[in-house]
A and B are shown apart, each in its own frame.
Chain A
Amino acid sequence: MANVSTFDTTSTVVTDAAVLATTPSRALEGPSGRKPKRRLSRRNIILYGTLGLAALYYLLPLYVMVVTSLKGMPEIRMGNVFSPPMEITFEPWVKAWAEACTGLNCDGLSRGFWNSVRILLPSVVVSIFIASVSGYSLANWRFKGSELFFSILIIGAFIPYQVMIYPIVIILREIGIYGTLTGLIIVHTIFGMPILTLLFRNYFTSLPEELFKAARIDGAGFWQIYGRIMLPMALPIFVVAMILQVTGIWNDFLFGVVFTRPDSYPMTVQLNNIVNSVQGVKEYNVNMAATLLTGAVPLIVYFVSGRLFVRGIAAGAVKG
């Protein structure tokens, strides 16, 4: 009420003095403050409706898989694909992990899981290390022909894998590591190079060049700048590279089936052998459980590091 006097000039405009007295802050007519937003506007309905439909479309198969994997075979034969299980059973999961037969082995997916882990860890670590160092040197230590080298590397990313399989088989055979996990690890490392090097080079190029210059004046060498300046600044991009490699290598089927032998098949190949076996009854619940188990690793990696992933992808746009 104290500020009524400050509205002396405007009060002449307002006809009803009582209105002025009761709501002094509304002395000036018209919209003020934050604009009210309607929750159920047409725009919102369309926006959330579309998003909801898309989410449903992608979630439905997952739902069917989870539900089926928890049903017994008699219930599945009844044909109600979308209905929730009447009696929840985890037996298909146990069978998929430890008992399902592929060929002569009847120890389930667990064998493939550990094979995949043995393939995954070294190839992810080695490929990311090599790619980060080469990306760093391509970005900061421009040597003669570095641009040409980079272009050749990028072209490598566009050649279909299938073209290179037979030559690689011959190369590995000649070296004597065809059919071993080492051979597959080397193949995964090499095939990860183009995209990872591109990723790291672009990230390191986006860092201010003066940082590198300052480190050189401070007397740091190639490895010191890499380890003490660049590496700590590149954590987001390392996470991105890790996600790309983990999902890529874990989900790989082609290289796994070509470059390994049955006892060292990765999980994806083993999954295929379980699901596509032509003998006996098709155990849909076991197949669903096996597929979910195989897909779990990349899924967990995404959930755990999803936020970092987005940050790393966006990091190139933000000044370091």
Chain B
Amino acid sequence: MTTLSVQTPHTNAFPPGATSLPEASAVSGEHSVSIRDLSLSFGAVTVLEDLNLDIHDGEFLVLLGSSGCGKSTLLNCIAGLLEPTDGQIFIKGRNVTWEEPKDRGIGMVFQSYALYPQMTVEKNLSFGLRVAGLPKEDIAKRVARASAILQIEPLLQRKPAALSGGQRQRVAIGRALVRDVDVFLFDEPLSNLDAKLRSELRVEIKRLHQQLKNTMIYVTHDQIEALTLADRIAIMKSGVIQQLADPVTIYNRPKNKFVAGFIGSPSMNFLDGELAEEGGRPVFKTNGVSFLLDGYSASEPLTPGRKVVLGVRPEHIKVDADIAGEEIHEAIVDIEEPMGADNLIWLKLAAHTLSVRVGGARRYAVGSKVRLGFDMTMASLFDAATEERI
């Protein structure tokens, strides 16, 4: 698999009538896509309700969620393939709510590639341009540019059936590329590929974004794709955006328990308990064991007696020698899962099962006792009732 060559297209390769080059459109701060109070329902089933979203110019936004959360529906609404029941969609400041897909200035890449099987790669790339009635030399230039960027020139005369999955997806991306649009929409583009190809194409898409600086909206259910690609991630659940933030914030300061549990693999440890105070310091109490909450930055006062859930990621629990001043708790090793680079150990602590990530070289015998230190600066506290972050 070859990598994408970062090849800046020459400005004079485009006729003056063509839309502005993607490079020129990277004016940050301006909204490229805005969604206002968008609702969509199929009969009695409401998929999206009063959804608002602003996407900056040149931003890579990932819509992340499990299947049926409405992320693909939202993307189809932006593309104009689904009609919203209510609300507005703006692209580049223009209200496109009633516009045809082709007039919205978007290109779309689908999970199943959706290449026209009876056409060669070249015809696939140029289909939209031919439909639009562009002059032949103009079409040839755009196809040449896109195939150079994606390194698919040797494949131009082949039919899609003669291509591998990765090659097909490059052609599908190329089809969006030749349209020279402001916004790229990706609908789970890598989900049909095997793990190795997926990680390769993931890097290529990221490089493509860095090179073109277009606005990209990317739908996926894969959190790794979301975390690696996104400038910002919008995590969705039942048609509602749960949190919209950059990957670091999403990972470290999840807004609610759903986001905390959805992001991260192995997932975050959750302990049910309540807040208390010991010696003037706030503590978290569960099954008779108390954890000092030193270093936790709460957005609300930590009132004693409040029912809460403590969330700690497996890598934020320090074991034995790693402990640097944290309060020490003892736990018993239940199961050990070696994963190569890491070693995941499952522990019993105060009738809870915890997973802790340690280096791959460190092994623990089942039943042995280990000392744990919780890094409360990286922990999360959620209200037990509302499941919102405290």
Contacts and interface: CB of A to CB of B under 8 A. Distances in A.
B280 to A, nearest CB: 61
A210 B131 contact: no
Given A218-B128, A218-B131, A213 B175 contact: no
A26 interface: no
A211 B114 contact: yes
A233 B81 CA distance: 22
Nearest to A213: B81
B116 interface: yes
Interface string B87-116: 000000000000011100011101111111
A219 B110 CA distance: 16
Given A218-B175, A229-B116, A213 B110 contact: yes
Interface string B133-164: 00000000000000000000000000000000
A243 to B, nearest CB: 22
Interface of B: 76, 79-81, 100-102, 106-108, 110-118, 127-128, 131-132, 175, 179, 187
Interface residues of A, number: 17
Nearest to B128: A218
A230 to B, nearest CB: 10
Interface string A178-212: 00000000000000000000000000000010110
B370 to A, nearest CB: 46
Contacts of B107: 217
Given A217-B102, A217-B128, A232 B108 contact: no
Contacts of A232: 118
A84 interface: no
B131 A220 contact: yes
A214 interface: yes
Given A210-B110, A214-B108, A214-B175, A219 B118 contact: no
B108 A224 contact: no
Contacts of B112: 208, 210
Q: Which of A208, A214, A220, A229 has the most CB of B within 10 A?
A: A214
A81 B187 CA distance: 70
Contact of A218 (B76, B81, B110, B127): B127
Given A218-B179, A233-B117, 19 more contacts: A210-B112, A210-B114, A210-B187, A211-B114, A213-B76, A213-B81, A214-B110, A214-B115, A215-B116, A215-B127, A216-B80, A216-B101, A216-B102, A217-B79, A217-B128, A219-B102, A219-B128, A224-B131, A229-B116
Contacts of A229: 116
B136 to A, nearest CB: 17
Interface string A262-291: 000000000000000000000000000000
Contacts of A156: none
A220 B111 CA distance: 20
Contacts of A211: 114, 116
A218 B113 CA distance: 14
A-B pairs, top 9 by smallest CB distance, nearest first, are: A218-B128, A219-B102, A210-B114, A214-B114, A210-B110, A232-B118, A219-B131, A217-B101, A211-B114
A215 to B, nearest CB: 8
A300 B101 CA distance: 47
Contacts of B132: 219
A118 B187 CA distance: 51
A228 to B, nearest CB: 8
Interface in A63-106: none
24 contacts: A208-B112, A210-B112, A210-B114, A210-B187, A213-B79, A213-B101, A213-B108, A214-B114, A215-B127, A216-B100, A216-B102, A217-B79, A217-B102, A217-B106, A217-B107, A218-B102, A218-B131, A218-B175, A218-B179, A219-B101, A219-B128, A220-B127, A229-B116, A233-B117
A60 B175 CA distance: 59
B73 to A, nearest CB: 13
A92 B111 CA distance: 65
Contacts of A61: none
A224 B79 CA distance: 19
